Amino acid sequence: MTVVTRFAPSPTGRLHVGNIRTALHNFLFARRHGGRFLLRVDDTDRERSTAEAEQAIHADLAWLGLHPHDMVRQSDRFALYERQFEQLRAAGRIYACYETPEELDLRRKILLGRGLPPIYERPEGENTPVEGRAPHWRFRLDHEQPIGWDDLVRGEQKFDPHLLSDPVIRRADGSWLYLLPSVIDDIDLGITHIVRGEDHVSNSAVQLQMFAALGAEPPRLAHEALLVAAEGKLSKRLGAVGVGEMQERGLEPMALLSLLARLGTSQPVEAVADLEPLAASFDFAHFGRAPAHFDMGEVEQLNARLLHAMPFAAVAERVPAWVDEGSWSVLRTALDHVTEIDAWQEVVQGDLAAPDLPAEDRAFLAEAAALAAAVDWSADPWHALTDQLKADTGRKGKALFKPLRLALTGRESGPEMAPLLRLIGRKRSLARLEAGART
């Protein structure tokens, strides 16, 4: 069996961490098993779906590196849905309903007031048409057919069909709701595994009967625990964290994907430079049922780790022209985001203002300038200079290194000074030490 998974977003906005995680896990599972990952654009909601949002989904997936093998658009498949709808209707599995939303709401309240579950009370036969009112349509659940499956994350699942309402599958205006078209697509596209959030568990229960009614074997199901904010509460904020914010922050896509691949599992979260090792280790057996805590701070930390080891080829088209492979290898260790490298041009090539230092540090820098003029700059001038200064002045630790770093870079922290000093060069370094001694 060839594994086939699908990611099915609605084109109503950009991708956020929740559906990025779903897309990633479908992608990784298919990749691990040498299968196919499909994109299905669920654009049956004509009022909310836009072409711009669909284009954004394609762009976001491309930026993340989650390239589908193929894509379909539900709005192109209405004829297929119509044929299957009529087949189910002829078999008595779909029936017309004429209640208004207000009537249904009143009926639910009456049932709740009696201490009963608010389940739709289906008629014994067909609903009586109401003049001037178009029907909506429900799928008739088989109350004698038990519902159950072995979920790849949640284990054995069982539902009593008597406790489920016959789901509405089509509105009175003829538009489709999610449930039936999704099943028809999964059958037609040969989907073997459905990976989605645990908020779809009850949807899966009724959809399993739809697969059976259409004479199809259902896919394997994996319902993952939902993401929650780091503080442990469900957060609307998570809906805003996504590709747009990642790009605005200047973050690497693999920083987010490295976290989302392992979040909620027993595996360690590591900064991974590409998707292959994540796919090779992806296994639903590692996932627990507890909520997965998402923290943007972890993405930032992973981003820094990725940058500190990132080869120049991976950023060459995204950094300024003055940055070459040598300067990148030195400066990357000081970066949290690629865009921060702009600020280091002044350090490497500019004329820095001398720091305001106490008299004893200025005297120390005067001695450093004299020694720096004499050391061999073709080898390791930083260690040659600091070793001699330590021997001559008795300074060590912060007292030794801080005034030198301030004078040479204008900063109290940054990349390792030995390679950075060679990058700054002899002439500029001597001038900065001499300027620091005079202020």
- Rounded alpha-carbon distances, angstroms, from residue 272 to 109, 305, 426: 52, 9, 37
Q: Per-residue confidence at 86, pLDDT binned at 50, 70, 90?
A: very high
Q: What would the mean pLDDT of 83-100 be, rounded to a whole number?
A: 95
Binding residues: 236
Where is average pLDDT lowest: 33-47, 108-122, 296-310?
Answer: 108-122
3-state secondary structure the chain: CCCEEEECCCCCCCCEHHHHHHHHHHHHHHHHCCCEEEEEECCCCCCCCCHHHHHHHHHHHHHHCCCCCEEEEHHHCHHHHHHHHHHHHHCCCEEEECCCHHHHHHHHHHHHHCCCCCCCCCCCCCCCCCCCCCCEEEECCCCCCCEEEEECCCEEEEECHHHCCCCEEECCCCCECCHHHHHHHHHHCCCCEEEEEHHHHHHHHHHHHHHHHCCCCCCEEEEECCEEECCCCCCHHHHCCEHHHHHHHCCCHHHHHHHHHHCCECCCCCCCCCCHHHHHCCCHHHECCCCEEECHHHHHHHHHHHHHHCCHHHCCCCCCCCCCHHHHHHHHHHCCCHHHHHHHHHHHHCCCCCCCCCHHHHHHHHHHHHHHHHCCCCCCHHHHHHHHHHHHHCCCHHHHHHHHHHHHHCCCCCCCHHHHHHHHCHHHHHHHHHHHHHC
Q: Is the pLDDT of residue 361 over 90?
A: yes
Q: What would the mean pLDDT of 112-119 be, rounded to a whole number?
A: 91
- The pLDDT assigned to 234 comes to 47
User: pLDDT per residue over 49-79, tens digit each?
Assistant: 999 999 999 999 999 999 999 999 999 999 9
User: pLDDT per residue over 222-233, tens digit each?
Assistant: 999 998 887 655
Q: Which of 77, 76, 274, 287 is nearest to 197 (CA)?
A: 287
Q: Is the pLDDT of residue 102 over 50?
A: yes
Q: What would the mean pLDDT of 324-333 be, rounded to a whole number?
A: 97
User: pLDDT per residue over 335-354, tens digit each?
Assistant: 999 999 999 999 999 999 99
351-438: CATH topology: Arc Repressor Mutant, subunit A (1.10.10)
Q: What would the mean pLDDT of 171-195 be, rounded to a whole number?
A: 97
- The pLDDT assigned to 324 comes to 97
Could you tell me if 79 and 176 are in contact, meaning their C-beta atoms sit under 8 angstroms apart? no
The domain segmentation of the chain, as residue ranges, is: 229-312, 313-348, 351-438
Chain mean position to CA 128 = 49
Q: Is the pLDDT of residue 19 over 50?
A: yes
- The pLDDT assigned to 231 comes to 63
Q: Is the pLDDT of residue 439 over 90?
A: no
- The pLDDT assigned to 131 comes to 87
- The pLDDT assigned to 75 comes to 95
Where is average pLDDT lowest: 67-71, 153-157, 264-268, 366-370?
Answer: 264-268
Q: Is the pLDDT of residue 82 over 70?
A: yes
Say if residue 331 is exposed, middle or buried (CB neighbours under 10 Å; 0-12, 13-18, 19+): buried
Binding residues for ATP: 236
User: pLDDT per residue over 260-269, tens digit each?
Assistant: 999 999 899 9
Give the architecture-level CATH label for domain 229-312: Orthogonal Bundle (1.10)
- The pLDDT assigned to 237 comes to 59
Structure tokens at 410: 């204008």
- The pLDDT assigned to 124 comes to 72
User: pLDDT per residue over 120-140, tens digit each?
Assistant: 988 776 678 888 899 999 999
Mean pLDDT, the chain, rounded, equals 94
- The pLDDT assigned to 97 comes to 94
Q: What would the mean pLDDT of 346-369 be, rounded to a whole number?
A: 95
Task: Please state, as a whole number, how many other Cβ atoms lie within 10 Å of the Cβ of residue 343.
Answer: 12
Q: Per-residue confidence at 239, pLDDT binned at 50, 70, 90?
A: low
Q: What would the mean pLDDT of 78-103 be, rounded to a whole number?
A: 95
Q: Which of 101, 111, 93, 36 is nearest to 67 (CA)?
A: 36
Q: What would the mean pLDDT of 131-160 be, rounded to a whole number?
A: 96
User: pLDDT per residue over 287-315, tens digit each?
Assistant: 999 988 899 999 999 999 999 999 999 99
Structure tokens at 426: 């002899």
